[in-house]
Amino acid sequence: MKNQVQLITYVDRLTAGGFSDLKALVDGPLKGVIGGVHPLPFFDPIDGADAGFDPIDHTLVDRRLGDWNDVRALSASVDIMADMIVNHVSANSPAFRDFLDKGEASGFADMFLTFGKVFPNGASEDDLLAIYRPRPGFPFTKMTFGDGSKRLIWTTFTPQQIDIDVFSQHGAAYLDAILNRFKQGGVTAIRLDAAGYAIKKPGTSSFMIPETYAFLGELADKARSLGMEVLVEIHSYYRDQIDIARKVDRVYDFALPPLVLHALFTGEAGPLAEWLKISPRNAITVLDTHDGIGVIDVGAATDGRPGLLPPAALDALVETMHERSGGESRQATGAAASNLDLYQVNCTYYDALGKRDGEYLIARALQFFAPGIPQVYYVGLLGGVNDMDLLARTKVGRDINRHYYTPAEVTAALEKAVVRRLFELARFRNTHPAFGGDFAVEQPSASRLVLSWTQGDEQASLDVDFKSATASITHRGAGGEGHFVVG
């Protein structure tokens, strides 16, 4: 993966078209701004129960976006990352429909996880309470089979997303087919989505257990043998994230978004400084994604170990997001908007900061200087605001940050001052040689942070004072010296 700013986007929601339109953007106004693209699930269909994360056919491009030839054409312009959804398939997939119709007589019966398959000797209360799930309740859905019988099917996320047995003959073949299709399609990196839930074992949490690490290691080896790098997507306690990072190619730095907000809200640089001293260096850094702004990643562990922020600071962080967004994020978070995730606030990052251009650009500069490779969500790239109309139509909290742009809206966004300044920051991050060197973080005062990159005579430093919400970048090297204000 190029050490440059990456774009993560729904193809149709950014372009109002398909892959050919995305390529036109990449080769046009985004040229030099991004070095790679992560198109969010573009498989058949893109508009299922979970915005593409419940594919019926993971090896088929939704024809509304184009086909694999269009994907390969985009890969000639930028590197491409694709989602490999290892935990589940759509309830409408042919394999599951066959299983539901024929039961154990189905040729795909081995591919799916029933309660009895995971707990052949039954489950105790402790067994069930040990299961980790990011949403309320247990991960089972009662379903009726063709003969009228009823069984409990393991569904970690929703009843439309059916968990698969990754060790079964058909489950393993399914995953291998996806890897081979990606290789043929010009994909050079994959994100293992919901990977932490892939292995179920009685008496455990069935989340990131030792068997999960082993499975992910084997899957990553297969991907690497095909020339693809592997990113694992997991929200978890920060110490666990550091441990996970030692075992995989790349992880997300999900602690960064709330810590940056905390620093900008309070003027306190300490928690962010401490995290940047120990954060995984093989990270993909983010501020916003297609999901909400996570808080579990800076909170306490389930066993009581303290988090990066104490509970009172975490509560204040969430309330300040709600306040700065004018209450819009509150309408999109929790049961009020059918958002059952326990650890996310739904809001654009721009709105979470109260649409304050200066603070938004400081936040992006911090992301670009933090250890790892920065990835920017399409709404954030365009300085987008909360889509309250879409939220009202769908009643799905995360849709507040999943706007469908028209070409005219994209053109208008590209002319906004905050977007132009963001693009300048991205081009600087993409081209300055210092970012290929060594990272250092200093905290000269309680409210100030200095992040520096050095490679030989090349150096770039970001100096932020959170109390005054001011920042500047100083750089030197073969191209000369320079200094400019952020924001």
User: How far is Cα 59 from Cα 64, in angstroms, rounded to an integer?
Assistant: 15
Kindly report, residue by residue over 150-183, the tens digit of the pLDDT.
999 999 999 999 999 999 999 999 999 999 999 9
Tell me: is residue 414 an annotated ligand-binding position: no
Indicate the domain borders of the chain: 6-87+168-436, 94-163, 438-485
Provide the sign of the torsion angle of the four alpha carbons 159, 136, 88, 377, taken in this order: positive
Residue 11 confidence (pLDDT): 98
Q: What is the mean pLDDT of residues 389-410?
A: 96
pLDDT value of position 339: 42
> What pLDDT is stored for residue 295 in this prediction?
87
What is the DSSP secondary structure assignment for residue 459, as one 8-state letter? E
Nearest to 99 by CA among 134, 46, 147: 147
User: Which of 36-40, 59-63, 214-218, 470-474 shows the lowest per-residue confidence on average (mean pLDDT)?
Assistant: 214-218
Residues 448-473, mean pLDDT to the nearest whole number: 98
Other beta carbons within 10 angstroms of residue 322's beta carbon come to: 19
Q: Is 50 annotated as a binding residue?
A: yes
Could you tell me the pLDDT band of residue 336, with boundaries at 50, 70 and 90?
low
Question: Are 84 and 176 within 8 A, CB to CB?
Answer: no
pLDDT top residue among 200 and 341: 200
290 labeled binding residue: yes
Query: Do the beta carbons of residue 426 and residue 367 sit within 8 Å?
Result: no
Is residue 341 part of an annotated ligand binding site? yes
Q: Which of 354, 40, 73 is nearest to 191 (CA)?
A: 40
Note the pLDDT of residue 141. Answer: 97
Over residues 267-275, the mean pLDDT reads 98
CATH placement of domain 94-163: 3.90.400.10
Among the ranges given (111-120, 214-223, 410-419), the one the predictor scored with the smallest mean pLDDT: 214-223
CA 45 to chain centre: 20
Q: What is the pLDDT of residue 133?
A: 86
Average pLDDT, the chain: 94
Query: For this structure, is 233 an active site residue?
Result: yes
Token pair belonging to 81: 């990352």
With a cut of 90, say whether residue 12 has pLDDT above it: yes
Among candidate residues 83, 165, 229, 233, the one labeled active-site is 233
pTM for the whole thing? 0.93
DSSP-assigned letters across all residues of 138-160: -SEEEEE-TTS-EEEEE-SS-TT
Distance separating alpha carbons of residues 91 and 161, to the nearest angstrom: 6
State percent of the chain over pLDDT 70.
98
In this predicted structure, the answer to whether residue 134 has a pLDDT above a threshold of 80 is no
pLDDT at 51: 84
Superfamily assignment of 6-87+168-436 in CATH? Answer: Glycosidases (3.20.20.80)
Q: Is 88 annotated as a binding residue?
A: yes
Q: In the prediction, which pLDDT does 244 show?
A: 84
**291 labelled as ligand-binding?**
yes
Residue 243 annotated as binding site: no
Contact 175, 111 (CB under 8 A): no
Q: Residue 264's pLDDT is what? A: 98
Helix (H) or strand (E) holding 7: strand 6-9
- H/E stretch holding 283 reads strand 283-285
Contact 199, 209 (CB under 8 A): yes
Q: Which of the following is catalytic: 21, 193, 253, 359? A: 193
Strand partners for 192: 84, 232
Say yes or no: do domains 6-87+168-436 and 94-163 share a fold: no
Q: What is the DSSP string of 231-264?
A: EE-----HHHHHHHHTTSSEEEETTHHHHHHHHH
Confidence of residue 137 (pLDDT cuts 50, 70, 90): confident
Tell me if residue 324 falls in helix, strand or coil: helix
pLDDT at 351 over 90: yes
pLDDT in tens, 289-323: 999 998 889 999 888 899 999 999 999 999 999 99
Helix axes 210-225, 169-184, angle to 10 degrees: 40
Query: How confident is the model over 17-71, as pLDDT tens digits?
Result: 999 999 999 999 999 999 999 999 999 999 988 888 889 988 999 999 999 999 9
Please say if the pLDDT value at position 246 is more than 90. Answer: no
Quick one: average pLDDT of 189-208? 92
233 labeled part of a ligand binding site = yes
Average pLDDT estimate for 363-388: 98
Is 191 marked as binding a ligand? yes
357 is catalytic: no
Specify which of 41-50, 301-310, 389-398, 419-428 reaches the highest per-range mean pLDDT: 419-428
Q: Is 398 labeled as ligand-binding?
A: yes
Helix segments in 48-161, DSSP class H: 68-75, 94-102, 115-118, 125-130
Residue 143: phi and psi, rounded to 5, are -130, 150
Higher-scoring residue by pLDDT: 324, 304: 324
What does the chain come to in residues?
A: 487
